[in-house]
Amino acid sequence: MHRVNPFETAKKQLDQAAKIADFDPKYIERLKVPDRYVEVSIPVVMDNGEQKIFTGFRSQHNNARGPYKGGTRFFEEVNLDEIRALSFWMSFKNAVVNIPFGGGKGGIIFDPKKVSPAELERITRGYVQKIFHLIGPEVDSPGPDVGAGSQVMDWIMDEYSKLSGKKQFAASTGKSLDQGGSEGREEATGYGGGVILREVLSKNLIQPIKKTIAIQGFGNVGTFLAKSVHELGWRIVALSDSKGGVFNDQGIDLEQAAQHKKATGSLKDLAGTRNITNEELLELDVDILVPAALENVLTAENANRIKAQMIFEMANGPTTPEADEIFNQKKKIIIPDILANSGGVATSYYEWYQNMHQEKWPVDEVLSKLHTLMVQAFNDVFAVQQKYQTSFRNAAYILGAERIINTIKNKGV
C-alpha cells in the first residue's frame, strides 16, 4: 500500500472547492504554501547520562486572520508533510468556526510512552528553546495533540515565560487549570462534535436503519463524543483504541468500557463484547462511522467496503481524496474534520482570550459559548452546501477560503 501524503491531500481538497466557487487562482496558490516551517534538532541528556538528538517541527500556515494556532504532536511517525498538512487544516478550521486565528502545527519525532517524565520535560523545554523566537501569545500559541497533554502545555508556557522574562499564560493552550487552563477544554472537541452531529441529524440527511454508530478511537475525543451520541439516543455498537476494537450489536456500556480501558490499558476483551480489528470496525454495517483516531484510514483500498451512510470525521484527515471520490459517487454524507472536530480549537481560543484578559470563565459559560459557536458554524457551512449543491467538505473549504481571502484582500499587500 502506497503511503498517502497528507499535505498533497490537503491541497487537493482546496483545489476541488476552489473550482466550484471560482476563486482567484492567485489566492488559492498562496493558501497552498505555509508562510514558514522549521525543522529543529533538540539535544537532550537522557536519564542514563547519554545524549540523544530529537527532531522537531513547527509549521505556520497562514496568519491573515490572527496568530498561528495549532497543536503539538509527540509521535514516532511525525513528519514534515504531516505537520504542514495539519497547519493547513488548522487555518481552514479556525476560519470555518470564525475565530481570529490562523493555522499552525508542531511535532517531535519520538514515542512519549518510551521516555521518563523527566526526559519528557527536558525534550519539551528543549523544543521551546529552539522555536522560542517563532512563537508567543500574539504570534503562535501551541496547543495539545497526540502524545502531548496538559502537562506538556504547562511546560511550554513555563519555558516560554522564563525565556521572555515574564509570566505569559497565553503562550500555550490546553494547560492544566491552575496554570491558566480553561474549564471545558478537556471535553471541548468531543462536545463540539456532538453539537455538530445533532445539527446534522436534525436535517434528516440520512435515513437511519438502527441508529447505530461505530467510533474508531476511544481517547479523549472519542470518549466525549460517545457521551453526546448516547444522549442523542443512538447506540454505539463498536469502539476501538490503538490496540484493537470491540463490538456488541446491542450497544456498548460506555462507563464499563472506560473503566476496563483504565484498568487494562486497552478495550480488548471487554465483557459482553467480541474483539475486532480497527480495519473491521471501519467496515461494519452501521448508520454512522466516526473515525476519531489518525489520518488516512479511509482509502481507495477500503472505501468500497464502507457500509455506513455517514462518515463523521473527528480525526484530522482520515479520508484520502480517492476515498472521498468513491463516497461521493455512492452518495454518502461526509461531515469533514474542519467542521466536525473544531470544538477543541474554539475552546483553545477561549482559553487564550481568558489568559490575555486575565479572566476565568465557569465551565457552563465556556460550553454555552461553544454551543452557540458550533451551531453557527454548522449553519454557515450548510448554507454554502445548499447554495452550491456540493459536498459538506467542499462547502467547508469554500467558507474557510472565502473568509481567509477576504481578510487578505482587506489588509492589502
**What domains lie within the chain, and their CATH numbers?**
34-181 (3.40.50.10860), 184-413 (3.40.50.720)
- What three-state secondary structure class fits 332? coil
> Which DSSP string corresponds to 129-188?
HHHGGG-BTTTEEEE-BTTB-HHHHHHHHHHHHHHHTS--GGGSSS--GGGTPPTTHHHH
Q: pLDDT tier at 121 (50, 70, 90 boundaries)?
A: very high
Q: What pLDDT does 242 receive?
A: 87
Name the DSSP letter for residue 291: E
Report the range of poorest mean pLDDT among 32-46, 200-214, 217-231. Answer: 217-231
**Which residue has cell 440520512?**
206
Q: pLDDT tier at 228 (50, 70, 90 boundaries)?
A: confident
93 among annotated binding-site residues: yes
Q: What percent of the chain has pLDDT over 90?
A: 87
Residue 139 clears pLDDT 90, i.e. is over it: yes
Q: What pLDDT does 147 receive?
A: 92
Q: What pLDDT does 413 receive?
A: 59
69 among annotated binding-site residues: yes
- To the query of whether residue 105 is one of the catalytic residues in this protein, the response is yes
Amino acid at 12: K
Q: What is the pLDDT of residues 354-409, one digit of tens each?
A: 999 999 999 999 999 999 999 999 999 999 999 999 999 999 999 999 999 999 99
Q: Give the β-pairing of 310-312 and 68-74.
A: unpaired
Q: pLDDT tier at 411 (50, 70, 90 boundaries)?
A: confident
**What's the Cα-to-Cα distance from 368 to each of 140, 176, 249, 380, rounded to whole Å?**
26, 21, 34, 19
Task: Give the C-alpha separation, 303 to 358, whole Å.
Answer: 48
Q: What pLDDT does 296 receive?
A: 85
- The CA-CA-CA angle for residues 333, 300, 110, to 5°, reads 100
Out of 105, 175, 261, 332, the active site residue is 105
- The CA-CA-CA angle for residues 114, 118, 124, to 5°, reads 80
Residue 332 clears pLDDT 70, i.e. is over it: yes
Q: What pLDDT does 405 receive?
A: 96
Q: What is the pLDDT of residues 85-95, one digit of tens each?
A: 999 999 999 99
Residue 3 clears pLDDT 80, i.e. is over it: no
Among 292, 266, 269, 270, smallest CA distance to 281 is for 292
Mean pLDDT across 45-74: 97
48 among annotated binding-site residues: no
Q: What value does the mean pLDDT of the chain take? A: 94
189 among annotated binding-site residues: yes
Mean pLDDT across 268-275: 94
Mean pLDDT across 273-289: 95
Give the number of C-alpha atoms closer than 13 A to the C-alpha of residue 326, restricted to the C-beta side.
Answer: 17
Among 292, 297, 405, 394, smallest CA distance to 340 is for 292
Q: What is the pLDDT of residues 305-324, one digit of tens each?
A: 999 999 999 998 899 989 99
Task: Give the C-alpha separation, 287 to 213, whole Å.
Answer: 6
348 among annotated binding-site residues: yes
Task: For the chain, give the number of residues.
Answer: 413
Report the range of poorest mean pLDDT among 11-20, 151-160, 216-225. Answer: 216-225
Residue 1 clears pLDDT 50, i.e. is over it: no
